[in-house]
Structure 1
């Protein structure tokens, strides 16, 4: 009903505008629909991707600018010395192709033409808007800066990629040193294993454990972290000349470099850094599934996908429809990349989730005491490669740094006293590893065979790619760069002396895959789908997301009822917490002399295990499980290990709850602990929501909600904050539900983008993106999708020209 009501208000008589854009070969039509999606119709391939870049820049200019600065290591030029380590890390890990055109053509036979056209389109818009700076989005005015021009190297940057496990590898090494390999295997859930008695993975540490306790990955972490802004940044983008003019006009003298340099830095603590990476590790995931025609109401295969990333304004995802000779594809990717990473064309639909490949390793070297640029390799001293970089720093002289590289990769840390150096071998620095760009090949696939062949070019990140088509085929292909390790697992740091080398990469075709399984169902949710007898265990990861989401999806899809798109939408919004099915029954025989605790137990006994927004039991349960996790972690994790093992896998928590003696050797009264955690949940909720338990509904402002805070929120007035910050909006679910909403009270991760497709009719596709297509608060499409998303709603994603024209709100003709 909400969708139909919305349709009634869409302007069907489109308002046309003509824009002259230098760089086009022929006119391009862009139909923007009522939900802000651009449907681009071009007469040739160059103009198609030129227009994609141009329109993305129009909608997401500040997002693109920050991407450009992060990709090029020029954030300190804008924000000062607080970002110097980020820029050093970026340049240290920057991919520098020997042959740029050859690199671009790895992603598509005409990749060079496509990427260059996309960049030309971005630059055309940047050039135009810089001629009228008063029309720039507010972020540029707030920071007193302007957007810069792109190059193809910016597109193929690796800085944004969902990379791998180097932080875990370092922490596992520290934990083996502190508590031993057996204890670590008992606390972490490494799998798959051949059987219950399997003692793998091998966690033997062959390097000095004490040395691992240093801040080895500081530069790596610096370039991966999101950019944060402080009030001081309001002047950091001003040139010295501009600042002089401003102050002269007010009769104020020019500030000295020392004064500007003394602005308080915004450097996150190690605890904040750890918390961010922990959140990313836990909640950067996705769901996708596809069913055969025998399982659907239409008789045709259907497919759904909802990738989970950080919630933000604007969204990471960006919808686009690309139509030109040889191209007709719709869906979403990232606004900084050409093509569509999730969606469909005329022939089939596809989606992705993360598949755990391990393509990072930390190497430890002996350094020549007489020459710190030499390291021992196979019994001889080998000289590091060096590179000097000059980094502009706002308010200070430019900084010149020397970057060092071993044969394995960038040197991230040197211990001069111990004569040790540490380097990261990163598979994603190999050619052809720019994230998601291989989607360009997938966009033109006309069959499962062609789609699977396109997948062979998809190296980073590791993904579960699924496919369905109207001819009846469904399929799954795991993709990713998977180094072959002959003599170690890749889970702990190793000596860089030549004993531990990669033996090439596993061909993607040999990664797990299936076609038309007998069940008629394919489900991936970052869970482990690898058979225990998979012959290349050394090439993939040992740590996966818990199985709760996948098990719940499979449970619903295999209930014997033919599924519709409405069923798919309900499943993407599902709030059933499978861990509760194990934990809550353990509470049923328990009772308490404390009245509020007993009342809380009564709510849980009648609960249906769904974390609905209007449920009181949901609030009680989440508080209970949270406290149980903390209590369990305190019991099983030694104090000196806690900084390096932040969370316990849900699998281990449930194992302990059912059979405490399997995890904890000393006697413990499990029932007393469970009851104490319920009592603590009641105390926490009473403090936060008041004493009336009936008001403890889960979804409310002071409980489970989402508030989207703009990155520049601290730099603007209270009135402006109301315009750029969005929410609060009530939410349900948590980190283990199909509808992932994270572990915090404010939802910071989950699905901002969703899509459901029935291959019988592409015009029946439904989707959502939050909070809107545009990143500019002055646009009506900055926040218009948030109310619909908050109700787990969707808008129609029309594919045929006739349907699109019915919901077009504006037609733009880009003319050469």
Structure 2
């Protein structure tokens, strides 16, 4: 595996004129390095986070504006009535508090001051740029709008959080109704099972009623915003059933991709397994590929603060990175903090629902939503004791509500990282983790004193009498019994193995006492097993080893499936030729490999065939993918996995032939040209969200690619399941705690969202080759690679 490192140029920094910014108390020095990372040196905490907000707005203004509108339910004001349901959903699920300071201080003892300073910094830049609208980023000019001011409530919005399993829960209920619990258990992989039995999937509600569009409002506010001149399928005012069904298919596909491909890898090794003798850490979160990136690097330095890494530009602090004392990273840990409740409503008053034998009134709120091109819409939001009412069936006298734990106080995603940023030891870091409630995460730590550790975090409701896998009646029989203390979630410290690996796989023991508080469905084990395989050998690891592992393209499922193909023969000449390629293959999905292209096509065809054999047609919309484990189980023991005998070898050959035919149609008849990584096969093209609204010349400036890629959804280097990589790691970090200046990282496509900036796309070519840039921490090193020095100074006025 080739590794690329960016050339470090010892630069002579240019000096920008000092910028006077109202709201600062003392001057702030900003060193922007040659990769676009701002190193912020402030003399006090307020100014540090004020400057972080100001500079994030300078680099990512339109990204921040979209966040603000999604958080406040004002997207329809910008884009029109097709976004009304999004705004209704946002307001329905909005976190509302009467004690904002208490909420903000959950995330850090100075949380209120920090968040308010961060918001003030954003607003200082917004106020400044609105005085010179000709300097606004192109998105604002294209949409004929201007950025609005933030409030602390925008920061603590939950709309962007990786939430939980409510869609799966509804679909499992539908599937139990359609195919039965036993068939669902056979097709899905619920684990770890208890020692006694499989998870209970008893359906206590009317299954037929679950077939309605119950979660439409929930889905609407979770979806990414689309910008299109011709798109008429977004709207909630649609009357065309074909368009509605088309849009629902797109929605289902988006949520399915998020479920399958949003994840992460992280690992830490002790000094006994590193070449330096010090613990090391690696982390690469897998999220949707986009321009600009979700992640944003920053270095924050002030009295009591010295931390570098990345978070989201909309949040203060650093989510993944290191300080002077230790490094940390995260991956998703599956907690289940959502449940769907079904109520009997009063035929004489639909605003009442039956609870413990009595009619109980729903709580109602009235909201007025501005809508572009028409009058503002007033809507009524309804709530039961469990949560927002998302759907009402007047004919059947039923209502459906979502209990969402993340609507509780202290559940703003990632914001508790502020506490972690100041941790000085594993004990302090673990204590900081106890404030991190959403999303569920595997937090890992490594420090130069020799410690490594893992703490699972997340809001985990205790269910004493049901699994949380299917909808339940809201009549009082199925209630949460508080939340599991985070300290009781799985964790470990300095294990004998000398390493800790998390990759969204199940790490929960079978006898875990609070089984129904966490999830039953986890990522497959392939990524974690491959990482462990590499770390468990006897060779001490270096940072280049970690980089190679983050870029690893070995497909573990192929080790099971390809040997089943090797002894087979086909009368079809191209299929036999493909078999010859696979017999010599090393199981690596490298961009230059022909066998990789053949294998991925084969595995894709096998998944489709297995689904066709096992899932009844009416159930397929609710079970859109089958876990890899089930495919491999069948391949190894076909008589055990299906209810009827299937000729395994003939099916495997048929799927291989189908792969060959599809590749021939797409890439031509010459098999030698079927290399995996190419524009018509595995690649990445990044398309700006506003691409359809601008001219061809501007489109060429804002879109990136295509460039060749390797891997797929089961490799350590996750590149998704489609030909165009839509998910995977845009941000990576590797750390050797011996020397913080040896840290390496990447962020694709760049730090800036402004196509006029060199940092809009400068990291994309490096990232595409799985490369890194140095993440310097000491000021001496940073000054050697600084491209721009600037001082933000306090003043009574704001001027551009």
Query: TM-score normalized by structure 2?
Result: 0.97
In structure 2, distance between residues paired with 1:38 and 1:522: 31
CA contact (8 A) 1:438 1:454 kept: yes
**1:165 & 1:201 partners in 2: Cα distance?**
16
- Secondary structure, aligned partner of 2:792: strand
Aligned to 2:797: none
Instruction: Please state how far the C-alpha of 1:776 moved relative to its aligned partner.
Output: 0.8
Write the distance in 2 (CA, Å) between the matches of 1:637 and 1:687: 28
Contact 1:207 1:493 in 2 (8 A): yes
Q: Does 2:484 match 1:486?
A: no
Does residue 347 of the first structure (1) align with residue 325 of the second (2)? yes
Q: Which residue of 1 aligns with 2:438?
A: 460
1:555 matched to 2:533? The reply is yes
In the other structure, the counterpart of 1:20 is: 20
Q: Find the residue that maps to 1:106 and give its secondary structure.
A: helix
Following TM superposition, by how much is the alpha carbon of 1:200 offset from its aligned partner in structure 2, in angstroms?
Answer: 1.7
Q: Which residue of 2 aligns with 1:633?
A: 611
> Does the 8 Å contact 2:5/2:771 carry over to 1?
no
Match of 2:35 in 1: 35
Name the residue aligned to 2:451: 473
Corresponding residue for residue 438 of structure 1 = 416
Secondary structure of 2:90's aligned partner = helix
Contact 2:283 2:329 in 1 (8 A): yes
Equivalent residue for 1:212?
Answer: 210
- Counterpart contact for 2:261–2:286, Cα < 8 Å: yes
Count of aligned pairs:
788
Task: Report if aligned partners of 2:28, 2:47 keep a CA contact under 8 Å in 1.
Answer: yes
User: Structure 2, unaligned stretches of length 5 or more?
Assistant: 795-800
Contact 1:82 1:265 in 2 (8 A): no
Give the conservation status (yes or no) of the 8 Å contact 1:89–1:220.
Answer: yes
* CA deviation vs aligned residue, 1:15-40 (integer Å, no higher than 9, x gap): 33310000000000010000000000
**Residues 82, 266 of structure 1: 8 Å contact kept:** no
Who is 2:120 aligned against? 120
Partner of 2:798: none
Contact 1:229 1:266 in 2 (8 A): no
Structure 1 Cα separation of the partners of residues 5 and 431 of structure 2: 40
Separation (CA, whole Å) in 2 of partners of 1:98 and 1:16: 43
Distance apart, 1:11 and its partner CA: 2.9
How far did 1:421 drift?
0.1
Residue 12 (structure 1) shift: 2.7
For 1:12 and 1:418, the matched residues in 2 are separated by 73
TM-score, length-normalised on structure 1? 0.95
**Correspondence 1:313-392 to 2 at 5 A:** 313-392=291-370
**Residue equivalent to 1:571:** 549
> Match for 2:265 among 287, 293, 302?
287
DSSP 3-state at the match of 1:632: helix
1:527 and 1:731 mapped to 2: Cα distance? 24
Would you say the 8 A contact 1:296–1:563 is kept in 2?
yes
Moved more, 129-138 or 659-668: 659-668
Any gaps of 5 or more consecutive residues in structure 1?
Answer: 237-257
Secondary structure of 1:387's aligned partner: strand
Paired residue for 1:302? 280
Which of 616, 628, 632 is 1:654 aligned to?
632
Structure 1 pair 548–4 and aligned structure 2 pair: CA distance change class (3 A): closer
Equivalent residue for 1:173? 173
In the alignment, what sits opposite 1:85?
85
Name the residue aligned to 1:57.
57
Q: Paired residue for 2:643, among 621, 646, 665?
A: 665
> SS in structure 2 opposite 1:745?
coil
Determine the C-alpha separation between the residues in 2 that align with 1:477 and 1:356.
13
Q: For 1:671 and 1:300, locate their aligned partners in 2 and report how far apart those are by CA, in whole Å.
A: 50
Q: CA RMSD in A?
A: 1.7
Q: Which residue of 1 aligns with 2:201?
A: 203
Among 227, 230, 233, the residue aligned to 2:228: 230
Report the Cα distance in structure 1 between the residues aligned to 2:6 and 2:421, rounded to whole angstroms. Answer: 33
User: CA 1:267–1:223 in 2, change beyond 3 Å: closer, same or farther?
Assistant: farther
Contact 1:82 1:267 in 2 (8 A): no
Q: Deviation at 1:585?
A: 0.1
| Distance in 1 of aligned mates of 2:328 and 2:646 | 49
Partner of 1:7: 8
Moved over 6 A (4+): 1-5, 264-268
1:234-283 deviation digits (Å, cap 9, x = unpaired): 9x9xxxxxxxxxxxxxxxxxxxxx9xx99x99996110000000000001
Tell me, in whole angstroms, the C-alpha distance in 1 between the residues paired with 2:421 and 2:84. Answer: 39
Question: Within 1, Cα distance between the matches of 2:358 and 2:674?
Answer: 68
User: Which residue of 641, 652, 664 corresponds with 1:686?
Assistant: 664
In 2, the alpha carbon distance for the partners of 1:528 and 1:700 equals 34
Q: C-alpha distance in 2, partners of 1:648/1:310? A: 21
Residue of structure 1 in register with 2:488 after alignment: 510
Residues 625-649 of structure 1: per-residue CA shift (max 9 Å, x gap)? 0000000000011111111000000
SS of residue paired to 2:330: strand
